[in-house]
Amino acid sequence: MNPREEKVKIITEEFIENDEDANVGKRKKNSKVQRQPRKKQPPTTGPDKMVSEESHLGNQQEPAQDKPQTRLLSVTARRGPRSLPPIPSASRIGFAEFSMRERMREKLQAARSKAESALLQEIPTPRPRRLRSPSVKELETEFGTESGKEVGSTQQEDDSQSYSRVKFHVSARKIKSKPQVPPGFPSAEEAYNFFTFTFDPEPEEAEEKPKHQDGTNQEEEEGEEEPPAQEGANRMDEEELPHGKDAENFLLGLDHTANEFLAVRPADYESVHVRLQREKEMLFIPSRLTVPTYKKLPENVQPRFLEDEGLYIGERPEVARTNQNIMENRLLTQEPGRRWFGDDGRILALPNPIKPFPSRPPVLTQEQSIKTELETLYKKAVKYVHRSQHMIGSGDPSGNFQLDIDISGLIFTHHPCFSREHVLAAKLAQLYDQYLARHQRNKAKFLTDKLQALRNAVQTGLNPEKPHQSLDMIQKTINEYKSEIRQTRKLRDAEQERDRTLLKTIIKVWKEMKSLREFQRFTNTPLKLVLRKEKVDQKADEEAYEAEIQAEISELLEEHTEEYEQKMEEYRTSYQQWKAWKKAQRAKKKKKKQATEEHPEEETEEPYPEEDPVKPTPPEPTDQAAIEQQVRERAAQSRRRPGEPTLLPELSLAGSVTPNDQCPRAEVWRREDVKRRSVYLKVLFNNKEVSRTVSRQLGTDFRVHFGQIFNLQIFNWPESLTLQVYETVGHSSPTLLAEVFLPIPETTVVTGRAPIEEVEFSSNQHVTLDHEGVGSGVPFSFEADGSNQLILMTSGKVSHSVAWAVGENGIPLIPPLSQQNIGFRSALKRADAISSIGTSGVTDMKKLAKWAAESKLDPNDPNNGPLMQLISVATSGESYVPDFFRLEQLQQEFNFVSDEELNRSKRFRLLHLRSQQVPEFRNYKQIPIYDREIMEKVFQDYEKRLRDRNVIETKDHIDTHRAVVAKYLQQVRESVINRFLIAKHHFLLADLVVEEEVPNISILGLNLFKLAEQKRPLRPRRKGRKKVTAQNLSDGDIKLLVNIIRAYDLPVRKPTASKFQQPSRSSRTFREKHAASPDTRSPTHSADYPLGQVLVRPFVEVSFQRTICHTTTAEGPNPSWNEELELPFRAPNGDYSTASLQSVKDVVFINIFDEVLYDVLEDDRERGNGIHTRIERHWLGCVKIPFSTIYFQARIDGTFKIDIPPVLLGYSKEQNMIIERDFDSVRSLSEGSYITLFITIEPQLVPGESVREKQFLDLLAGDEEEHAVLLCNYFLFLGKKAWLVIGNAIPEGPTAYVLTWEKSHYFIWNPCSGHFYGQFDTFCPLKNVGCLIGPDNIWFNIQQYDSPLRINFDVTKPKLWKSFFSRSLPYPGLSSIQPEELIYQNTDKVAAAELQDRIEKILKEKIMDWRPRHLTRWNRYCTSTLRHFLPLLESSQGEDVEDEHRAELLKQLGDYRFSGFPLHMPYSELKPLIDAVYSTGVHNIDVPNVEFALAVYIHPYPKNVLSVWIYVASLIRNR
């Protein structure tokens, strides 16, 4: 089907609908016309077609408003039947028609544009133009629903309208003159028909008729929506529609060319003007003009702008002004139009509901598809909880609370049914109430008394009876009194006057009422006023009156004189000034005169002097008579005349009301009207009606008694409580008189205690009554001539009481306060207005006010109410602004115990200390639950430390200087730990996330290469051990692995001379030692040992944290053990954190012992039966490695020099071995014993990041760098070539050594131990060299190797050493930060000796402690021998004294088997000494008859440097 046809059909169907809806009568009207097409209808056409034809005609009378409603519906509903297959011929013709139509359209376009432009010009004034423009828009929309094409065209024309108006002025005229259809148009159609169809001449007429019908029809339809002004253009538009219709009709007609159906009539044409006229009658087009306000409001009502009155009006939604006007115009013509308008004459509107910011879902990124966003999510149904935030005790079973509202009654203070008398009565009653209230307060009396008292005070003050007060003071107080008297008098006068006027008004009203009653000859109210006179004593009264007046006069006089004096003074000064000025003026004038003579042209310069001071007038003296006159007048006005009786009004209801039958008719009507009226109240809780009172008839006294109590079982916190007063007249519907808002009671108000309160209300209703009732809101008058009009509004009072109910057990059913706070915001808001904006405790009100002003808070918005109030109060300065700031104002709520109690709790203290990371408690685990389980001793250490913080303890340290140093160190350590702990909490990304570095090209290339590499799974590769972060470790997880591989050059035993009892020989042996070759000695050597033992049977014992492990015993001076020892590691306090591990101060002692077997058989005869040997072990030396070194280095691998005491009794170095190994002359310099070790921690720990920790550990005795610098400086001072070497050493790690150049050799010095090594010494602990620091430059190692063995130390070679200061950056000649000279004080020798004794004593005690099961005997003789020997060792540095010493010892202790050695250490603390002694294991000898010897020698060096020698020995007496 052709689209055009379809469209036409759609339109026809609309009419079908209309027709169906329309009255049948309407159809009858044009039954003639109806009949005609029906005749024409071919029988084959569907029923709907027939109806459609009908509709065309029927629609002519259709009311306009029906159409748009039905349109859409009908289209959709009818689409089905309409799409029946068309008649076969239709398509063909339709097609033919199509081209024709195209042509037609073109023509039409041209014509239309012409016509339109012409029409546009028709409009001469701007006003119609404005009127028309909306209609054009309407036209658009109408067409829009019908056809897109046409919309397009019309729009185009619309657009063109705007600029082509003037242009087509002339052509418009033309068109207007003949508004009919262009004559050529139908002819074209005719032609078309003529050429397309073959038919008789008759149908030509018939054809025209439907066309016309259709045409008008269409025009009518369109015209219904179109304004008349546009009519012409529309007509042109519509031309194509009739055309389509036309064709259809032709079609139908063609099939059955039945001429007899057609009635031939002349063309039915209706003039446009007529049609317009008719349309005007039917259609209403709202004007776009602004509606004047008075039209929108009830008559005689001024627009009322609520906003100006300070009421809150929300922001109105934005609507275009024109649309508003149209709407207003439309509303005005509608029936109840005015109710749409508010008091301000604007259309009522709710506040704009549109949020100022969009809450749209986030914009989709491209990655997400829209589908996912639009996906439906299943959500389980949730029970809707109504306004849960306002709910009280939602989870609380006892959540019902009760509010009792007692409404006792209602009194109207004005009612439309009030008669005039009632009005007066109400007024009287009100005045009387006022009088009573005033009388009760009796302010006048109070003020009079006060005045009297003040006067008395002044009197007494004037009397010079009080000499002790200074005159000034008295004067001052009197002045104060006087001013107060003045004030009080004024107040009293005002009060008295008010009292008097009130009384007068009461009497006046009463008189009016009486006259009214007389006038109307009936009484309506029982009110009766009785004035009770109280006689007064005339004489006394007069006296008092006079006295009062006199007093006042005198006071006033005084005031006036004072004032006069003051004014006089002013006058005098001003007069003086004036006089002076005058004089000056005169002098000036004189001068000027002279001047003008000389320079006449300058005369005009000063015609007016600055200000001519007016001559002051002297003030008038006070006139006593005038004042008296004044006072008396005033007294007469405001005061009771003397002798006049006091009047006491009494109002009573004793009067009688005239019965109805004696009243005039109007009054009877009024009374009847009153009787017909009844009143009831509705109770609204949170804006919902919860109950209402019974309806009570209005009494003649306009009082209604209810006496009802409503118990509101409430669930929500009350937000509002409202009573609505409804009045019913007869049987009509109740009208709302007024709303009364009741305050929500305080929580303290409970039933039984609540007072009855009265709340006033008023209504703005306007009532005019046709009887005696005065009405309300309308003017009325008491006067006969209607002057002095009064307007009274209905008003009244509701007496009620609201209270919280009390439960059965006496508990008030009030929601708890806390819930109010939490659950209900506005309750909180009341407490703290600022909390409503999210903050609380803000005290800077000025800032707040500023903020409020800036953010343009609407002061009328109820949401901002509390805030605004707060601001206004605060800015006015009346409120109390606290001068403190509450940081956590809710803290109080959470305090479940008092602070003292909390502080007393041991558990809390423990938790607190732990969270403060106090060292003692930092790692405290499982703090007990109960206080009673916490031992008091837990705190002892901590408290002791706190106590001792500033007390220097000398007990542990013996030497005071050391103690101070130790304390200082302790403090430094603490502060460093604390700093470290703080630093521990600052994480960098790298601390948390392991991320690969961006690889550079070479690594990338290597990796690429690796990809190509063949995979050989069988090739094993060493993999790095996995590092463990020391966080989740516990005791026993960490083990220290010590691999003892081998040792070199251990000392070997020497045959003890004591065995042979030949001192001479033994001495000879000693002599021999240097002379004889070892080969000659060896036989004797082996012969020395009874059990045929080898030279030495060494084993290694590793002790760490008092755990001891030892290897098996090997043999010979170069033993090889290759054993792995495993020692458990315990972190201090079980804390395995990095920080804790770093601070472990434990040292791994690796002691080398010689195992010696002794035959203990006492009897040689038993030798055959068994072997009884005793194992003794002799300490040979040790290596100490601090744990921290192992921890930082992860593993320690290398050969270390064994720390062997300078004198080892009974042992000597195997010289021969060294000589045999004579590979280097330098080698001999570092002779000694060595041990090869490998130490590591299992699992491998991740060392801490901070190196500072290590530094601080080293700080215990100054670190290596400091030592090295010092040593280097010594060398330089001695004139040697020396450098500081920065590099890595074992076991220190990164450290500093000193390099010296001596005799064409380089020596490397360990600054801490003082050992030195040759450059090519394999046992040199320095493993690599990074840089050298000389006195004037720094060199960096850029050689291929960094091992001291392989590098060249010649810093002059720039290829090997990169210097820091070069030609480009010359040495600036830096000055040293060190002092030029170090001053060494001598150490106090006495103190050193004392210390020596104390150390010896302590060590002896320790040894005895270590041997708890054995008796420890001290060999004093031996001790003294040793003591003498130690200074010798110090002076000789342990060199070459051994033999002499041995000889001497042997000589003295001949029959003892002796093993012992001196230990040499620097002194810093006592503990290392003790540890060193312990590690030697001397105390372990459990031979029953063992004796010990211990000697300590301290050699003091300057600057308090102490060298400690400890000689430990065990002696076994030989039998």
Partner 1 sequence: MAAGGPSVFLLMVNGQVESAQFPEFDNLYCKYCFVYGQDWAPTAGLEEGISQITSKSRDACHALVWNFPIDITFKSTNPFGWPQIVLSVYGPDVFGNDVVRGYGAVHVPFSPGRHKRTIPMFVPESTSKLQKFTSWFMGRRPEYTDPKVVAQGEGREAQPS
> Is 887 or 992 the residue whose CB approaches partner 1 more closely?
992
**Residue 995 interacting with partner 1 (CB under 8 A):** yes
Contact of 1176 with 1459, CB cutoff 8 Å: yes
| Biggest distance spanned by C-alpha atoms of the chain | 177
Q: Which is nearer to partner 1, 1134 or 1502 (CB)?
A: 1134
Q: Based on the shown chain and the rule CB under 8 A, indicate whether residue 1345 belongs to the binding site for partner 1.
A: no
352 contacts 317 by C-beta, under 8 angstroms: yes
Which member of 468, 986, 1016, 1413 binds partner 1 (CB under 8 A)?
986
Minimal CA–CA distance to 411: which of 96, 795, 76, 782? 795
Among 993, 1012, 1278, 1377, binds partner 1 (CB under 8 A): 993
What's the min distance (Å) between Cβ of 1370 and partner 1? Answer: 41
Interface with partner 1 includes 1031 (CB under 8 A)? yes
Q: How far apart, in whole angstroms, are the C-alpha atoms of residue 703 and residue 798?
A: 10
CB of 713 closer than 8 Å to CB of 738: no
When asked if residue 1005 is in the footprint of partner 1 (CB under 8 A), the reply is no
Sequential DSSP letters for 383-394: PPPTTGGGBSST
SS3 call for 351: coil
Give the x/- contact pattern for partner 1 in 966-985, rule: CB under 8 A: -------------------x
Total of residues contacting partner 1 (CB under 8 A)? 28
* Contacting range for partner 1; rule: CB under 8 A; set: 103-111, 582-590, 989-997, 1377-1385: 989-997
Among 184-192, 221-229, 793-801, 993-1001, the segment contacting partner 1 (CB under 8 A): 993-1001
Is 925 a residue that touches partner 1 (CB under 8 A)? yes
Regarding 994 and contact with partner 1 (CB under 8 A), the answer is yes
Of 923, 1093, 1118, 1337, the one binding partner 1 (CB under 8 A) is 923
DSSP string, 1252-1272: HHHHHHHGGG--HHHHHHHHH
- DSSP string of 747-786, one letter each residue: TT-BTTTPPPEEEEEE----B--SSS---BSSEE-SSTT-
Exactly one of 1029, 1080, 1086, 1322 binds partner 1 (CB under 8 A); that residue is 1029
Nearer to partner 1, 557 or 911 (CB): 911
Interactions with partner 1, residue window 1094-1113 (CB under 8 A): none
Query: Which of 284, 347, 293 is CA-nearest to residue 320?
Result: 347
For position 1447 contacting partner 1 by CB under 8 A, the verdict is no
Pick the stretch among 559-567, 791-799, 926-934, 1167-1175 that binds partner 1 (CB under 8 A).
926-934
CA–CA dist 474, 954 (Å, integer): 75
Answer for which of 152, 351, 659, 928 binds partner 1 (CB under 8 A) is 928
Enter the DSSP assignment of 600: G
Instruction: Give the bridge partners for 381, in sequence order.
Output: none
Complex with partner 1: residue 382 or 988, whichever CB lies closer: 988
Q: Please report how close the Cβ of residue 1037 comes to partner 1 at its closest, in angstroms.
A: 12
Cβ closest to partner 1, residue 551 vs residue 981: 981
Query: Using CB under 8 A as the criterion, what x/- string covers residues 883-922 for binding partner 1?
Result: ----------------------------x--x--------
Write down the least CB distance from residue 1039 to partner 1, Å: 20
Which range in 53-61, 282-290, 358-366, 923-931 contacts partner 1 by CB under 8 A? 923-931
Instruction: Work out whether the CA dihedral 406, 409, 412, 415 comes out positive or negative.
Output: positive
Least distance CB 989 / partner 1 (angstroms): 7
Q: Which of 1284, 1287, 1262 minimizes the C-alpha distance to 1337? A: 1284
Taking CB under 8 A as the binding criterion, the range among 45-53, 754-762, 1026-1034, 1341-1349 that sits at the site for partner 1 is 1026-1034
> Does residue 987 bind partner 1 (CB under 8 A)?
yes
Cβ nearer to partner 1, comparing 326 with 977 = 977
Q: Binding partner 1 by CB under 8 A: which of 710, 782, 908, 924?
A: 924
Q: Give 522 or 980: the residue with its C-beta nearer to partner 1.
A: 980
Shortest CB 992 distance to partner 1, Å: 5
For partner 1, the binding residue among 350, 992, 1018, 1383 (CB under 8 A) is 992
Burial 493-511 (b: 16+ CB within 10 A, else e): bebbeebbebbeebeebbe
Beta bridge partners of 1499: 1507
CA distances from 20 to 13, 39, 58, 70 (A): 10, 20, 10, 11
- How many Å apart are CA 1028 and CA 1041, to the nearest integer? 16
Q: In this structure, are residues 1294 and 1277 in contact, taking their beta carbons and an 8 Å threshold? A: no
**164 lies in the site for partner 1, by CB under 8 A:** no
If binding is defined by CB under 8 A, does position 936 make contact with partner 1?
A: no
Q: Which is nearer to partner 1, 994 or 1383 (CB)?
A: 994
Of 328-367, which residues contact partner 1 (CB under 8 A)?
none
Shortest Cβ 929–partner 1 spacing (Å) = 5
Q: Does 927 bind partner 1 (CB under 8 A)?
A: yes
Is there binding between residue 24 and partner 1 (CB under 8 A)? Answer: no
Comparing CA positions, the residue from 1253, 1264, 1186 lying closest to residue 972 is: 1253
CB count in 10 Å sphere of residue 896:
7
Least distance (Å) between residue 995 CB and partner 1: 4
Among the listed residues 299, 996, 1013, 1222, the single contact to partner 1 using CB under 8 A = 996
Residue 471 contacts partner 1 per CB under 8 A: no
- Tell me the CB-side half-sphere exposure of residue 735, using CA atoms within 13 A: 11
3-state secondary structure of 404: strand
Angle formed by the axes of helices 1420-1436 and 1442-1452, nearest 10°: 170
List, in sequence order, the alpha helices (H) in 781-880.
817-823, 825-831, 845-854, 865-876
Ranges of H-type helices in 442-470: 443-462
For partner 1, the closer CB: 989 or 1278: 989
Q: Which stretch binds partner 1 (CB under 8 A): 536-544, 646-654, 990-998, 1051-1059?
A: 990-998
Q: Binding to partner 1 by residue 557, rule CB under 8 A?
A: no
The yes or no reply on residue 991 touching partner 1 (CB under 8 A) is: yes
Q: Quick one: 371 or 1519, whose CB is closer to partner 1?
A: 371
Report the residue number, 995 or 1164, with the smaller CB distance to partner 1.
995
Binding mask 606-635 vs partner 1 (x if CB under 8 A, - otherwise)?
------------------------------
Nearest to 973 by CA among 1259, 558, 570, 1343: 1259
Q: Which is nearer to partner 1, 759 or 911 (CB)?
A: 911
Helix (H, G, I), strand (E, B) or coil at 1419: coil
Angle 54-60-62 (CA atoms, 0-180°, nearest 5)? Answer: 100
989 in contact with partner 1 (CB under 8 A): yes
Q: Are 957 and 1470 in contact (CB under 8 A)?
A: yes
CA distance 137 to 132: 9
CB of 912 to partner 1, least distance (A): 12
Question: In 1089-1199, which residue ranges form alpha helices assigned H by DSSP?
Answer: 1138-1142, 1187-1193
Nearer to partner 1, 730 or 1036 (CB): 1036
Region from 91-99, 741-749, 994-1002, 1106-1114 binding partner 1, contact rule CB under 8 A? 994-1002
Q: How far is CA 1197 from CA 1113, 1235, 1243, in A?
A: 22, 11, 17
| Residue 1032 in contact with partner 1, rule: CB under 8 A | yes
At 694, which amino acid appears? V
Residue ranges binding partner 1 (CB under 8 A): 911, 914, 923-930, 933, 985-989, 991-996, 998-999, 1007, 1029, 1031-1032
